[in-house]
């Protein structure tokens, strides 16, 4: 993924005000430890190129395009938290004016320029449960993964790992006992970076041979145990108000991007779609499953996995929907 030359000429804060709202892609109900809220995803343009702006707060009015445009026009105090390639994240307020600066009450994410795949991901769609057998994985899903990696979908990940972007956000770099052990940790772009009850971090490994949990083998158990403990130690060291048994570690399948990473969240964070059964696989359970396998070469590629997909996703339209029609 590459941005336009305009990306380097316009400050991240200015991009939000230049965003031209076109339509609502999705609004979703979310649960937080202390409140019920809503998140919206807006499709629009900046300098003629499409982008997606997501925002979250207690409630949103979404009954017309005029209301959505008024919401966008009311944004103030936009503060950039970071950016990497086409992804940017902010704190902002949605005040209606008045004396003094309003405290930030919104978390914004901007993807610009966005792709057709981004628009599909952030749009409302019906979900389907699918079962991916070892044969389907090897013959169809694995080639799909390879194609996505070859398209450059991991540029933003490599930017972080190679020290080009977001270095001020890295809270731990661990070289381990060799190159295969190295990883780093940083805040997830959806966390506001201050509310511990909604803490959400990412641990990105440096090694590039593990694309997803499907690549994990029994021989990786010592590495996974080491990685788990170092991630827990680093998190409670950075946030001393938390203890290790207040943290939940999981990986996604299917993941958003095909480079192995672990999500670290506060157990108080309500389990939304990204933590639901059929999306999140607990790291401890994965380790236990690998330990029970017969030999060191046995892997998660040898088992069937059941998970959900949106009907707009390429995995559904290109692989699982045709398989369903054939059955």
Written as tens digits, the pLDDT of the chain (327 aa) is 344 444 446 788 899 999 999 999 987 755 443 344 567 899 999 999 999 999 876 556 677 898 899 889 888 888 887 776 788 888 888 765 554 556 677 889 999 999 888 898 888 889 999 999 999 999 999 999 999 998 887 887 888 888 887 677 788 888 888 888 999 998 887 787 878 888 999 999 999 999 999 999 999 999 999 999 999 999 999 999 999 999 999 999 999 899 999 999 999 876 556 666 778 999 999 999 999 999 999 999 999 999 999 999 999 999 999 999 998
CATH code for 5-118? 3.30.200
Q: Could you please report the per-residue DSSP string of 255-317?
A: -SSSS-EEEEEETTS---GGGSTTTEEEHHHHHHHHHTSSSTT-BGGGS-EEEEEETTSHHII
Instruction: Give the separation between CA 213 and CA 255, rounded to whole angstroms.
Output: 9
Contacts with 326 (C-beta within 8 Å, 6 or more apart), sequence order? none
Q: State the pairing for strand pair 183-187/200-205.
A: antiparallel
* Residue-range domain boundaries for the chain: 5-118, 127-326
Q: In the prediction, which pLDDT does 102 show? A: 66
Tokens 């807006």 map to which residue?
42
DSSP type of residue 105:
-
Residue 106 CA, distance from chain mean position: 18
Q: In terms of Cα–Cα distance, which of 87, 148, 83 is closest to 117? A: 148
- CATH level 3 topology of 127-326: HIT family, subunit A (3.30.428)
Residues for the chain: how many in total? Answer: 327
Which one from 200, 220, 259, 261 is the annotated catalytic residue?
261
Task: Please choose, from the candidates 308, 316, 262, 321, the residue with its C-alpha nearest in 3D space to the C-alpha of residue 287.
Answer: 262
**Radius of gyration for the alpha carbons in the chain, expressed in angstroms and rounded:** 20
261 an active-site residue? yes
The whole-number pLDDT of residue 276 equals 67
Give the predicted TM-score (pTM) of the model: 0.75
- Determine the Cα–Cα distance for residues 300 and 220; give it in Å rounded to an integer: 11
Token pair listed for 30: 């979310």
């Amino acid at each position: 993924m590459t941005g336009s030359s305009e990306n380097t000429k316009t400050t991240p804060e200015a991009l939000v005000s230049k965003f031209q709202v076109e339509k609502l892609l999705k609004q979703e109900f979310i649960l937080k430890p202390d409140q019920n809220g809503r998140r919206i995803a807006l499709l629009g343009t900046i300098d003629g190129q499409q982008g997606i702006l997501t925002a979250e707060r207690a409630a949103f009015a979404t009954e017309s395009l005029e209301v959505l445009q008024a919401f966008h026009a009311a944004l103030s105090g936009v503060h950039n938290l970071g950016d990497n390639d086409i992804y940017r994240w902010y704190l902002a307020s949605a005040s209606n004016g008045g004396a003094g600066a309003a405290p930030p009450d919104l978390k914004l994410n901007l993807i610009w320029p966005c792709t057709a795949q981004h628009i599909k991901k952030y749009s409302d769609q019906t979900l389907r449960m699918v079962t991916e057998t070892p044969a389907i994985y090897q013959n169809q899903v694995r080639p799909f993964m390879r194609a996505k990696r070859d398209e450059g979908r991991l540029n933003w990940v490599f930017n972080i790992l190679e020290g080009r972007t977001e270095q001020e956000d890295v809270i731990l770099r661990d070289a381990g006992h060799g190159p295969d052990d190295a990883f780093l940790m940083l805040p997830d772009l959806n966390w506001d970076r201050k509310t511990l009850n909604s803490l959400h971090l990412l641990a990105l490994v440096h090694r590039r041979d593990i694309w997803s949990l499907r690549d994990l083998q029994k021989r990786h158990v010592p590495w996974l145990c080491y990685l788990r403990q170092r991630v827990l130690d680093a998190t409670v060291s950075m946030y001393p108000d938390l203890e290790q048994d207040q943290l939940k570690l999981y990986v996604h399948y299917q993941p958003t991007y095909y480079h192995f990473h672990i999500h670290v969240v506060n157990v108080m964070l309500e389990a939304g779609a990204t933590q639901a059964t059929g999306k999140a696989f607990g790291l401890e359970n994965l380790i236990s499953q690998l330990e029970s396998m017969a030999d060191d070469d046995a892997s998660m590629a040898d088992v069937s996995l059941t998970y959900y997909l949106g009907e707009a996703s390429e995995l559904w339209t290109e692989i699982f929907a045709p398989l369903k029609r054939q059955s």
